[in-house]
């Protein structure tokens, strides 16, 4: 008999076998409806084989689902990603089929003339309707009832009467996906010699080739990879390109640049796209009807028919790491997908991750460098303000040197950005009587005050509540005080200091959707904002021509805590933030307020010496055999039953296999030990680079039975240690 191995969207480690009855033909990559208990579920076929029998009775496949066969490259990538991340392969496969969860957009209802039919009463209004429809048909345009009534200058009742009388009829036409052909010669950019050489190297590469496009802020990296895309499309019009961005907020600006460059818009893929539209994009990708897709990390799982190049823009950004549900790093999976597909991959950044720099230094990636800003722009000067010598006034956050620089910039008619990577008004609310800090229910995370909404919000779980009048711990009245600054508090201070200046806050709270993002960027570009107080939402990829001063309110913020990437992440974020200044023909300046100006990260920023920082950080990592010189994996346990977590943690600790050049730390309480009522414990594994870390983890986890009450998550190459 024939047997099909089928991945089901379940947390199980392997495919299920089903018998293929007569009349059902399946191949690898097909989708099938199969019985699972009392219901039918959708599964993905990974293998079809013939066998002489089985020692168990197999259930039969119900039917083949009428859907395109998943391309071999996509299926191979899904299987590899599941093995690499130790994720259930069926759940990983479900990610690749996510676009099929919705029906395509409903057909469009349009009107056309019934041949030979004439209205019984040819009034002036009816005659106007028929004339407007005739004009539209001569122009090969389709019209809805509403559009036709508007064009004829009549009410919709007149149009409905003609339909009821049989003079007009309603037809349904498929909704257009709207993916117009891209023209590689539409509006080519003028590149400087370094840009042209980089674009040529990317365009001419064949097969799997990895590039690091390493260019300072404002050096024109986007122009480089778009020109490389144009040349690859010119050489192969069927080629498909995937451009990954770390945040949805950046997609609209890039989509506009691609539209301007190629004369048509690319496809868009992220959680903000409506489900029917995602279905259209999925169908267009697998059919080869779309050439360029711009999306978030989940776009890696789209069923590309002819994937030719992947671009990971801002490759250093930690947002490429997914930590909910399936845990993976989009940058690493992008390189793997390109290798599996035999495609090129470009990792672009002004501040590359140490892992990527290590691969470039060791020759695994081709290193393309852009050392100068595009055109007349120059890098901003960066100075440190030592808050020990000139601290701000009590209950204020801007020092006198920064205040003076803001005033001078505003007098010149230029714009200022005050950067603080902390949302809300104050990060902590506590009682001055008993010292109680307000936290979210069933969570160790502190509540953040938001003055604009009058709410206290947990940024981890989304819980919010009105600010209470009484302390929930001791009951003292009016005893709660706000501690520390968020962007709202800094904006309040800026308004008080410069009442004539137009101020605004740029954070995920004030720009909740792409429309609000576009509006804020346009206001800033048009000069309608004088002082922009911003979180990291404004530090990436935006170009404000009249912005000449960036003031970093708390340059020490990211350096606190025990995160092994704290120094790297702070250097990257502050480089990106200060790089917003002076991107046009006016010189830029950045001032960083700090209590520790001797910190190596801040000294390297002020000196503009990235190489010195990278060398020192690499040496520290190498001495400890930490990434990129070693590998890490985390195991996170959580449960509503603390005793169940303790038992599984103890069982894991007792079952660690013997292994060389590998250590296991823990189990220990997670820094956030309680989240949404679930107790959490962590174990950390460190291994040398040539150790089979995934093999060790599989052997270890196979020794321990985890009860249903405990959730176990494996995080290969963790970025969060909370």
- The whole-number average pLDDT for the span 637-650 is 94
Q: Is residue 81 scored above 90 in pLDDT?
A: yes
Shared-domain flag, residues 211 and 319: yes
Q: Has residue 246 been placed in a domain? A: yes
Angle at CA 586, nearest 5°, toward 581 and 590? Answer: 30
With both helix axes pointing from N to C terminus, report the angle between 251-262 and 514-525 in degrees, rounded to the nearest 10. 70
8 Å CB contact between 300 and 128: no
8 Å CB contact between 593 and 555: yes
Q: Which among 355, 396, 399, 406 has a CA at the least distance from the CA of 568?
A: 355
- The whole-number average pLDDT for the span 339-361 is 96
Shared-domain flag, residues 28 and 147: no
Q: Is residue 408 scored above 80 in pLDDT?
A: yes
Could you read off the pLDDT of 672-708 as tens digits, one per residue? 888 889 999 999 999 999 999 999 999 999 999 999 9
Domain ranges, residue 112: 108-173
**Averaged pLDDT of the chain:** 90
Q: Has residue 446 been placed in a domain? A: yes
CATH number of residue 17's parent domain = 3.40.1440.60
Say whether the peptide bond before residue 628 is cis (omega within 30 degrees of 0).
yes
Shared-domain flag, residues 351 and 231: yes
Shared-domain flag, residues 667 and 712: yes
Instruction: Give the DSSP per-residue string, 119-173.
Output: -SS--HHHHHHHHHHHHHHHTT--B-HHHHHHHHTS-HHHHHHHHHHTSEEEEEE
- The whole-number average pLDDT for the span 446-453 is 87
* Burial class of residue 411 (count of CB atoms within 10 Å of its CB; 0-12, 13-18, 19+): exposed
Task: Please identify, among 578, 595, 619, the residue that sits at the C-terminal boundary of a domain.
Answer: 619
Q: Which among 582, 67, 32, 123 has a CA at the least distance from the CA of 282?
A: 67
Shared-domain flag, residues 299 and 443: no
Task: Please identify, among 484, 506, 529, the residue that sits at the C-terminal boundary of a domain.
Answer: 484
Task: Please tell me which residue, 250 or 60, carries the higher pLDDT value.
Answer: 60
The CA distance from 352 to 413, in Å, is: 34
Q: Has residue 375 been placed in a domain? A: no
Shared-domain flag, residues 158 and 143: yes
Q: Which among 495, 489, 493, 494 has a CA at the least distance from the CA of 507?
A: 489
Shared-domain flag, residues 216 and 296: yes
Phi, psi of 633 (to 5 degrees): -145, 145
Shared-domain flag, residues 514 and 637: no
Q: Is residue 70 scored above 70 in pLDDT?
A: yes
Shared-domain flag, residues 471 and 578: no
Angle at CA 348, nearest 5°, toward 345 and 349? Answer: 155
Q: Has residue 279 been placed in a domain? A: yes
The CA distance from 441 to 419, in Å, is: 30
Shared-domain flag, residues 391 and 272: no
Q: Has residue 444 been placed in a domain? A: yes
Shared-domain flag, residues 440 and 539: no
Residue 581's pLDDT is 85
Shared-domain flag, residues 290 and 432: no
Task: Please identify, among 577, 595, 619, the residue that sits at the C-terminal boundary of a domain.
Answer: 619
CATH number of residue 640's parent domain = 3.30.70.600
How many other CB atoms sit within 10 Å of the CB of residue 415?
25
Rg (C-alpha) for the chain, rounded Å, is 29
Q: Has residue 601 been placed in a domain? A: yes
State the total domains in the chain: 6
Distances (CA, A) of 339 to 209, 210, 315, 513: 8, 9, 17, 34
Q: Has residue 180 been placed in a domain? A: no
Q: Has residue 625 been placed in a domain? A: no
Say whether the peptide bond before residue 237 is cis (omega within 30 degrees of 0).
no
The CA distance from 118 to 296, in Å, is: 54
Q: Does the pTM of the predicted model rise above 0.75?
A: yes
CATH number of residue 566's parent domain = 3.40.50.300
């Amino acid at each position: 008999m024939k047997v099909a191995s089928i991945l089901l969207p379940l947390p199980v480690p392997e495919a299920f076998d089903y018998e293929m009855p007569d009349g059902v033909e399946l191949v690898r990559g097909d989708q099938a409806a199969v019985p699972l208990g009392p219901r039918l579920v959708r599964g993905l076929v990974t293998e079809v084989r013939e066998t002489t029998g089985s020692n168990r009775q197999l259930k039969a496949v119900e039917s083949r689902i009428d859907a395109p066969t998943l391309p071999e490259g996509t299926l191979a990538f899904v299987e590899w990603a599941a093995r690499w991340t130790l994720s259930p392969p069926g759940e990983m496969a479900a990610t690749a089929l996510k676009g099929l969860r919705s029906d395509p957009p409903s057909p469009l209802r349009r009107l056309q003339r019934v041949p030979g039919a004439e209205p019984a009463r040819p009034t002036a209004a009816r005659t106007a309707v028929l004339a407007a429809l005739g004009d539209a048909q001569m122009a090969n345009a389709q019209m809805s009832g509403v559009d036709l009534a508007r064009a004829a200058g009549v009410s919709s009742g007149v149009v409905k009467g003609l339909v009821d009388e049989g003079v007009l009829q309603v037809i349904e036409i498929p909704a257009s996906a709207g993916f117009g052909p891209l023209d590689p010669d539409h509006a080519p950019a003028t590149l400087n010699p370094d840009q042209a050489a980089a674009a040529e190297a990317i365009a001419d590469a064949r097969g799997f080739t990895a590039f690091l496009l390493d260019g300072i802020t404002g050096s024109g990296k986007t122009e480089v990879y778009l020109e490389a895309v144009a040349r690859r499309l010119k050489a192969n019009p069927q080629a498909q390109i995937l451009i990954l961005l770390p945040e949805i907020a950046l997609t609209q600006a890039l989509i506009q640049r691609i539209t301007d460059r190629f004369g048509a818009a690319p496809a868009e893929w992220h959680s903000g796209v409506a489900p029917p539209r995602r279905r259209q994009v999925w169908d267009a990708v697998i059919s080869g009807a779309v050439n360029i897709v711009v999306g978030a990390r989940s776009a890696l799982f789209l069923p590309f028919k002819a994937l030719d190049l992947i671009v990971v823009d801002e490759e250093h950004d930690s947002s490429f790491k997914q930590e909910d549900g399936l845990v993976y790093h989009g940058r690493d999976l992008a390189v793997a997908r390109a290798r599996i597909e035999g495609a090129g991959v470009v990792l672009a950044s002004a501040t590359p991750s140490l892992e990527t720099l290590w691969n470039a230094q060791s020759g695994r990636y081709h290193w393309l460098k852009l050392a100068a800003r595009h055109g007349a722009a120059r890098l901003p000067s960066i100075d440190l303000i030592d808050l020990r010598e000139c601290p701000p006034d009590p209950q204020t956050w801007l020092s006198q040197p920064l205040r003076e620089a803001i005033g001078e910039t505003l007098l010149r008619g230029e714009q200022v950005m005050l950067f603080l990577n902390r949302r809300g008004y104050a990060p902590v609310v506590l009682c001055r009587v008993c010292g109680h800090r307000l936290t979210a229910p069933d969570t160790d995370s502190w509540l953040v005050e938001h003055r604009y909404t009058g709410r206290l919000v947990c940024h981890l779980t989304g819980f919010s509540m009105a600010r209470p009048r009484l302390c929930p711990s001791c009951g003292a009245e009016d005893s709660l005080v706000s501690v520390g600054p968020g962007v709202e508090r800094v904006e309040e201070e800026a308004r008080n200091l410069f009442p004539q200046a137009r101020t605004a806050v740029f954070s995920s709270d004030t720009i909740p959707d792409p429309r609000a993002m576009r509006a804020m960027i346009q206001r800033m570009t048009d000069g309608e904002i004088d002082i922009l107080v911003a979180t990291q939402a404004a530090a990436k990829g935006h170009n404000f021509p009249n912005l000449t001063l960036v003031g970093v309110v708390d340059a020490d913020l990211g350096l606190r805590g025990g995160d092994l990437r704290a120094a790297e992440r702070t250097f990257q974020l502050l480089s990106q933030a200060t790089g917003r200044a002076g991107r046009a023909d006016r010189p830029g300046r950045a001032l960083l307020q700090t209590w520790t100006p001797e910190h190596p990260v801040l000294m390297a920023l002020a000196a503009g010496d990235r190489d010195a920082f990278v060398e020192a950080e690499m040496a520290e990592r190498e001495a400890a055999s930490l990434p990129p010189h070693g590998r890490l994996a985390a195991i996170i346990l959580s449960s509503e039953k603390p005793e169940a977590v303790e038992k599984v943690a103890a069982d894991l600790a007792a079952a660690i296999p013997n292994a060389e050049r590998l250590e296991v730390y823990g189990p220990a309480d997670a820094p956030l030990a309680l989240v949404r009522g679930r107790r959490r414990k962590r174990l950390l594994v460190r291994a040398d680079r040539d150790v089979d870390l995934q093999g060790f983890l599989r052997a270890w986890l196979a020794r321990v039975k985890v009860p249903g009450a405990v959730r176990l998550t494996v995080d290969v190459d963790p970025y969060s240690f909370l």
